Amino acid sequence: MNSATQKMVEQTIESIVQITNPYGSGSGFLIDGLIITNSHVVSGLKEVLISTKTLPKTIGTVIYDDPAFDLAFIRSPILIEHKNPLILSSQSVQDGDNVIAIGHPYGLNYSTTEGIVSKATRLQGEVEYIQFDAAINPGNSGGPLLNESAEVIGVNTFIIQNSNNLGFALPAYTLKEALDQFNALKTEDVIRCGSCKNLIHETSIKNDYCPKCGTKLEVAKRRREGYKPSGVVALIEKILKALEINVTLARRSQRSWRFEIGKTRIDINYYDNGIIIADSALCRIPQENIEELYDFLLSENSVLERLQFSINENTVYLSYIIVDSSLSEEYGTAALRKLFDNAPRYQALLLSQFKALEPKFDEFE
């Protein structure tokens, strides 16, 4: 990355947003007091999790969902107060223009790639896109495509799988048109009908059909129903709520949760093989006092109930492991409460008594 690109990234990065919901994650960016992203990134939900480089996870409200152009607008008063918006470019895009894509591919935060415009206007179905060759991947969706002036020329929308860096961005002029149409309504909770292309307020929708043309509005149904966990996932979330964990903020996917107890991070993952693992990365093993540390962990494992210590590479974990068929509300609540109570205590002890090292995490993970 050259110095000009690096400067541009530093200039814009605080306006780049990571968006997460139970079905996946993507990117977004701040313009005109709104977070801009793709419709498929919000997955038809009214609430999603948003975070930035300087803002921890918070809930954002999806106030506009447009499957026709794969656009969505999210409102977050907290984000608006803390960020400077990006600027939509008014310049025409030309073949060969240099571009930069910023986003969160595969959850790798704030990844930046450079490329050029392969074709300024490429028609896919009824929609025009900018075709470019900067490498983007799942998770880049909804992020900005920038020109050399750090202005937004498009919204990164999709790639062609198994191609050589073949990406497509919705042009800035299409985004501006959608913003103008939405702002003219002076209301929220708006969706665009994919058939007649009219903007529809949700209060006017009956039985999930467009009041203008009668087309079934799948996005209206998804927004109405929301996300509803079931089975073991619902049980896990019921237990977390009983332990006063904000499940919405903790949820990383349909089967994964992460939150902090004080300064200690807790991860819970429910795997396809039926195993549920709740653990906390307490510390990294020191270069000295290793034997004493091992002896302590082994002695504690011999008396601990429900919990156990383990070491993966050089990180010490305290874990609760159970098979889904054995999980009950009473047993799971008691075990997780014990993990929540003991993880911070053991972490402090290992760091102070054995001079263990702080665990390492991705800065914006």
> Residue 135 CA to chain centroid, in angstroms?
20
Separation CA 145–CA 62 (nearest Å): 22
Catalytic one of 141, 279, 280, 319? 141
Which tokens sit at 310? Answer: 């383990």
Q: Give the three-class secondary structure for 66.
A: strand
Catalytic one of 15, 25, 27, 40? 40
Alpha helix segments (H runs only) across 147-229: 172-185, 218-225
- Which residues share a beta bridge with 268? 257, 278
Give the closest residue to 141 by CA, choosing from 33, 36, 54, 53.
36
Judge whether 362 counts as a catalytic residue.
Answer: no
* Backbone φ, ψ for residue 125 (5° rounding): 70, -125
Tell me how long the chain is.
365
Catalytic one of 70, 89, 104, 319? 70
Which tokens sit at 267? Answer: 């991860």
- Angle of the 231-242 helix axis to the 329-353 helix axis, nearest 10: 60
Residue 167 near residue 195 (C-beta atoms within 8 A): no
Judge whether 40 counts as a catalytic residue.
Answer: yes
Judge whether 104 counts as a catalytic residue.
Answer: no
Residue 57 near residue 49 (C-beta atoms within 8 A): yes
Which tokens sit at 176? Answer: 């501006």
List all residues 6 or more positions away from 231 whose beta carbon is below 8 Å from its beta carbon.
none
Give the closest residue to 278 by CA, choosing from 261, 294, 296.
261
Just list the catalytic residues. 40, 70, 141
